[in-house]
Structure 1
Amino acid sequence: METETEMLNTYFSNGAEVEISSDEDGFRGSWYEGIVVRPIQKKQRTNKDDDDDDESSNKLRVLVEYKTLMADKKGKRPLKEAMTLVQLRPRPPPERRRKFKVSDEVDAYYNDGWWEGVVMEVSSDGKYSVFFRGTRDQLEFEESRIRIHREWANGEWTPPFGDEGEEKKRKEKLVSTETKPNNEAAEIFSEGSLVEVSSDEEGFEGAWFVATIVKFLDNGNYLIEYQTLRNNDDTAFLQEETDRLHIRPRPPDIGSFESFKVLEEVDALHNDGWWVGVISKVLKGQRYKVYFKASNEELEFKHADIRLHLDWTNGKWVRASQALKL
């Protein structure tokens, strides 16, 4: 691993084009274009810097100038800030235009910066609906304002540029995002695909269980095998026949959240499945009470067992409403 001085000389010399991140609330997950002005000597640091802990104060810092953020209201003086090297990365090289799919992790250009998000919908006119986990907003973008999300660490980009096998390496959560006629159902969920399955049985309303497609049947239904439910004698995982109205792709991985809010619609992991509910109370220690309308129950869950609720409608993932009617 390179030292800070080596990183400075290799990637962040004076005049180098960079992207700058921030840990401030409301800006996490965003990168802004700028240039390196010069390194900052320790004796030039402000009193605020001197009050930092020893580990932070010993870190090398550089003065950067933003290309899109201004220090004055008239927009004539570019903003300059002192940044540690962990808040910087080289500006990514330009890459060829490409098509994106639902669940792709991307950066979208918004409010003068690149914001990390997940593609939730691809419209027929070539626009993309992107969900931002930091703000929980979902906005629409032209293809030209979206790029593949990449991480930069130890001098390398992940995924690397120019990797033709990139599509295969990314963890695809969806088998298909298109709406197709019934006679093409086999093309939507292929054998071996991971899906989620619902049931109309009493007591199971609002629950989705992870399963695998075993095969497509001649009558247009599917034989599925649950990943968490066992058969009656507990000798194997339960297999069932179900129609396509009770099957959906696994929701895209939109990442975890620092916290959920009261009245936010969620899925809670309970009794081997994901059950739709609403946050009714925020407790200490990242725990929540979730109200389930179908059963009129309120149960307590830890943060790791809750995910944001999404609806699969007409071949698209749709952000759930802000709140359920209790």
Structure 2
Amino acid sequence: MADDLNSVFKIGAEVEISSNDNGFRGAWYSGTILKSTTKNNKQMIQVEYKTLMANESGTKHLRETLNVVQLRPPPPREKRDRDFKFSEEVDAYYNDGWWEGVITDVLPGNRYSVFFRAAREQLEFSGSELRLHREWFHGNWVPPLEQEAEASISIELNICDNKEFIKGATVEVCSDEDGFYGAWFTATILEQLSTGSFKVQYQSLRNDDDTAFITEIVDTNHIRPCPPKETIDRFRLFEEVDAMHNDGWWVGVIFKVSSRQRYEVFFRGTNEEIVFKQSDLRRHLEWINGKWVSSSSVCNLVCKEM
């Protein structure tokens, strides 16, 4: 695996970089690799950003030394122009970086409304400012290039219907508040409002005086069914997982396999590395357009076809 990383992240190679700084989380920025070092048996990479500057005059490019899991090659571009669809996950070029969002409206003139969950903001973009959202997983882009495998861009695990969001249903809710961003918390639907939003009660988060569970109003962009339960034999190095931590499920990456039952997980959002038992981990799934999508399942399918 180390040799594979070295072949991808050579000195001088162009990469995309995820940042943990406030105001920059959820975005990928273009950069170049300057140096690679090993510290405490972990590969650290020094990069220089192409669009972020270190001074106000804009004469010096920002440099940082980062964990290798915060880097990836630049995503490929489709060979043909494509029309984006409602509810499709995309990256939008904004404020010098690529930010992950979801298409909420298809407008005339090849323009689209994009909702950014991290900022709870909706902005309008032209098609040329968007790209299909992809994840870098075990040396493959997920979803793969459309010309490689159009039929394999998602794995359907569960279909959404109205029964998923009825009163009393158990769901998962994400929060955009500081200290909670990037996690999903289990909740119960108390009521569906006329606006289309939901009143929920968390099952693990309590109010400040610890007298009751927190209730909150959430919109459809911040609620999903509970992922299907799966039995996983073992997780692989650099696999995306959800880890049960601080009463919620947090997205991380397997950075070290300590044993068959223990894994070191790196969290991009906080730059933390924490060891978990296998029983506290689950495969990371995304709820996209009424379907559970697994990057690892797609990758396995694509790898078999290649």
Query: Counterparts of 1:76-115 in structure 2 under 5 Å?
Result: 76-96=59-79, 97-115=81-99
Structural mapping, 1:192-203, within 5 Å? 196=162
Determine helix, strand or coil for the equivalent of 1:25.
Answer: coil
Within 1, Cα distance between the matches of 2:199 and 2:161? 29
Q: Is the contact made by 2:53 and 2:59 (CA closer than 8 Å) also made in structure 1?
A: yes
Say yes or no: does 1:125 pair with 2:109: yes
Residue 45 of structure 2 is matched in structure 1 by 62
What does residue 201 of structure 1 align with?
none
Tell me the distance in 1 between the aligned counterparts of 2:28 and 2:13. 16
Q: CA deviation at 1:210?
A: 5.7
Quick check: 1:75 aligned with 2:58? yes
Deviation per CA, 1:238-258, whole angstroms, max 9, x where unpaired? xxxxxxxxxxxxxxxxx8335
CA distance in 1: counterparts of 2:49 and 2:15, whole angstroms: 9
Match runs of 1:281-320 below 5 Å: 285-287=204-206, 307-309=218-220
**Per-residue deviation, residues 99-149 of structure 1 (Å, max 9, x unmatched):** 001100000000000000000001122211100111111000010010000
Conservation of the 8 A alpha-carbon contact between 1:280 and 1:288 = no
In 1, distance between residues paired with 2:146 and 2:194? 41
Aligned partners of 2:110, 2:152: CA distance in 1, in Å? 22
Which structure 2 segments of 5+ residues have no match?
179-186, 222-306
1:134 and 2:121 correspond: no
Structure 1 residue corresponding to 2:174, chosen from 245, 250, 256: 256
TM-score by length of structure 2 reads 0.55
Within 2, Cα distance between the matches of 1:62 and 1:168? 33
Deviation at 1:71, TM superposition (A): 0.7
Query: Residues 105 and 117 of structure 1 are in contact (CA less than 8 Å); yes or no, is this contact kept in structure 2?
Result: yes
Give the greater-gyration-radius structure (CA).
1
Change (3 A) 1:31 1:123: same
For residues 35 and 24 of structure 1, the distance between their equivalents in structure 2, rounded to whole angstroms, comes to 19
Give the % identical residues: 43
Write the letter of the residue equivalent to 1:105: E
Once residues 168 and 154 of structure 1 are traced to their aligned partners in structure 2, the CA distance between those partners, rounded to angstroms, is: 17
**Pairing partner for 1:15 from 9, 12, 16:** 12
Matched residue, 1:27 = 24
Distance (whole Å) between structure 1 residues aligned to residue 24 and residue 204 of structure 2: 25
Contact preservation (8 Å) 2:198, 2:219? no
Q: Which of these residues, 115, 127, 134, is aligned with residue 143 of structure 1?
A: 127
User: Residues of 1 paired with 2:97 and 2:193: CA distance?
Assistant: 36
Q: SS of the counterpart of 2:146? A: coil
Task: Name segments (4+ residues, structure 1) moved above 6 Å.
Answer: 277-284
- Over the aligned positions, Cα root-mean-square deviation in angstroms equals 4.0
Describe the shift of the 1:81–1:194 C-alpha distance in structure 2 as closer, same or farther (beyond 3 A).
closer
Q: Is the 8 A contact 1:21 1:29 kept in 2?
A: yes
CA contact (8 A) 1:130 1:141 kept: yes
Paired AA for residue 77 in structure 2: P
Distance 1:107 1:38, change over 3 A: same
Q: 1:163 to 1:274 in 2, by over 3 A?
A: farther
CA contact (8 A) 2:144 2:153 kept: no
User: How far apart in 1 are the matches of 2:134 and 2:41?
Assistant: 28
CA-to-aligned-CA distance 1:220-255 (integer Å, 9 cap, x gap): xxxxxxx999xxxxxxxxxxxxxxxxxxxxxxxxx8
Opposite residue 106 of structure 2, the aligned amino acid is V
Contact 2:205–2:213 under 8 Å retained in 1: no
Letter in 1 for 2:51: T
More strand by share: 2
Gap runs ≥5 in structure 1? 43-56, 173-192, 197-208, 212-226, 230-254, 261-267, 290-298, 311-326
Shift of 1:28: 1.9
Q: Secondary structure at the match of 2:69?
A: helix
1:125 counterpart letter in structure 2: G
Tell me, in whole angstroms, the C-alpha distance in 2 between the residues paired with 1:163 and 1:302: 46
